[in-house]
Structure 1
Amino acid sequence: MKKIIPVISLALLLSCNKKKDVQEVNVFNVEKTAEKIAREKPRSEIKDIDYSIYYNEAQLYCKRNNLNQDKFFLIDLGMHSGLKRFFVYDFNENKILKSYIVSHGCGDNKWGATMSKENASISNEFDSHCSSIGKFVVLDRGVSQWGIKVNYVLQGKEKTNSKARSRAIVLHSWEAISNDEVYPKGTPEGWGCPAVSNESMKEIDKLLQENKKVLMWIIKS
């Protein structure tokens, strides 16, 4: 009986230590989660960005390159992916007509996850699964395997997006994309295409059938 008591005591000691470790890990996880939540600003505190310099440059670019001079698209991948950051701008009325949620490329992260929601990876390279920045011209309407089965070819016009067509980077819709802002959550990430919700794509598709050679400018503010 005397030999059994030390064994039981040792087992209890190890058990207590294990519970202590688990408790410490749980406390650590709670603290990290609280810290992360504390860093995320309430939506009401996120200030609107002044894009006027981009609007002015875009208008000049469209005139010089014989592109559509009524509308253009501005996408800001510098914004959190849970916010509306795809803007339809009207040159004639000098204002944003619509804004939408849009996804960016997952890069080295898991497809469909939201791991880079606060910092989109940028690349022009094949198999990078990243979005490219720069000026694009929205060209031919095609058939997509995604969303409402409609896509638009994007022709990159700069060194930063010159491989867009060969990388099959197109504008399309995706059922995983929300029609409304989801911040502080992120938007599911694909392989580099700017993807919007089905409802958003219906509106964009109608606009693009009425307006040809529209400039899409993707930036990272």
Structure 2
Amino acid sequence: MIIKNYLLLFFVLGFSCNKENKATAVSENKHKNEIVSEEKPRVEINYSDYYKEAEQYCKKNNLNQSKFILIDLSVHSGYKRFFIYDFKKKAISKSYMVSHGCGDNQWGRTSSKAKPQISNEFDSHCSSVGKYVVSNRGVSQWGIKVNYVLQGKDKTNSNARSRAIVLHSWDAISDNEVYPEGTPEGWGCPAVSNESMKEIDELLKTNKKVLMWIIKS
């Protein structure tokens, strides 16, 4: 009788633990699914209208008609959103990670990875949208120590030079996509990774007066 009671107790305890483990597993899986559902997946965007307008703009303003740069700040900063478009091939030839300005948030964090603040005002620490012409190559204190002056051509980015907004690299920027994490945010400059800047630098040394168009659709 004693043995039977022990066996019965063992069976009950085993069944209870197994039931509890299953309930925990279900709860964990449900939590994981909820997290995944909260993440915003990549959305393919058709930029054909931007390509056409950029090509017309470059012809009208005697800018480089081989390539131009499109940066889409409406894309989550954990994704590649810096695109080099080849006018002749009518296709994106390269894409890179790029940072945006932190705005009211803390420098170096990723607080606005999905919704960057936009401003042309001094000391806003924000990125500015609009068309830029990539100008002189200079020396930077960041990354590979190379930067390119950006001349804002629209009302929305007219203070770019006065705000010292330049294209440069930054050690904190990843070569690869990091979504759902974001890219560290600076004070408004479009910053890329060191390896990316090496490639971009080679491109810009041989292609002058390149259009850079920063958008936020």
**Match for 1:80 among 55, 73, 76?**
76
Count of aligned positions? 188
Q: Return the offset for 1:35.
A: 5.3
What is the aligned partner in structure 1 of residue 26 from structure 2? none
**Match for 1:150 among 142, 146, 151?**
146
Three-state SS of the structure 1 residue aligned to 2:135 is strand
CA RMSD of aligned residues (A): 1.6
Three-state SS of the structure 1 residue aligned to 2:106 is coil
Residue 187 (1) aligns with residue 183 (2): yes
**Match for 2:102 among 86, 103, 106?**
106
Distance in 2 of aligned mates of 1:87 and 1:63: 20
Tell me the amino acid that sits aligned with residue 135 of structure 1.
K
Structure of greater Rg: 2
1:173-205: CA deviation from partner (whole Å, max 9, x where unpaired): 000000000000000000000000000000000
Tell me the amino acid that sits aligned with residue 169 of structure 2.
S
Q: Return the offset for 1:38.
A: 2.7
1:108-143: CA deviation from partner (whole Å, max 9, x where unpaired): 000000000000100000000000000000000000
**Match for 1:61 among 46, 57, 63?**
57
Tell me the amino acid that sits aligned with residue 86 of structure 1.
F
1:72-98: CA deviation from partner (whole Å, max 9, x where unpaired): 000000000000000000000000000
Distance in 2 of aligned mates of 1:115 and 1:210: 36
Distance in 1 of aligned mates of 2:116 and 2:57: 26
What is the aligned partner in structure 1 of residue 17 from structure 2? none
Distance in 2 of aligned mates of 1:173 and 1:86: 13
Tell me the amino acid that sits aligned with residue 126 of structure 2.
C
Distance 1:209 1:134, change over 3 A: same
Tell me the amino acid that sits aligned with residue 155 of structure 1.
Q
Distance in 2 of aligned mates of 1:164 and 1:213: 16
User: So what's the TM-score if we normalise by structure 2?
Assistant: 0.84
Distance in 1 of aligned mates of 2:33 and 2:67: 43
Q: Return the offset for 1:37.
A: 4.5
Residue 202 (1) aligns with residue 201 (2): no
Q: Return the offset for 1:36.
A: 5.4
What is the aligned partner in structure 1 of residue 19 from structure 2? none
What is the aligned partner in structure 2 of residue 94 from structure 1? 90
Spell out structure 1 runs of 4+ moving beyond 4 A.
31-37
Distance in 2 of aligned mates of 1:66 and 1:34: 52
Q: Return the offset for 1:48.
A: 1.4
What is the aligned partner in structure 2 of residue 120 from structure 1? 116
User: So what's the TM-score if we normalise by structure 1?
Assistant: 0.82
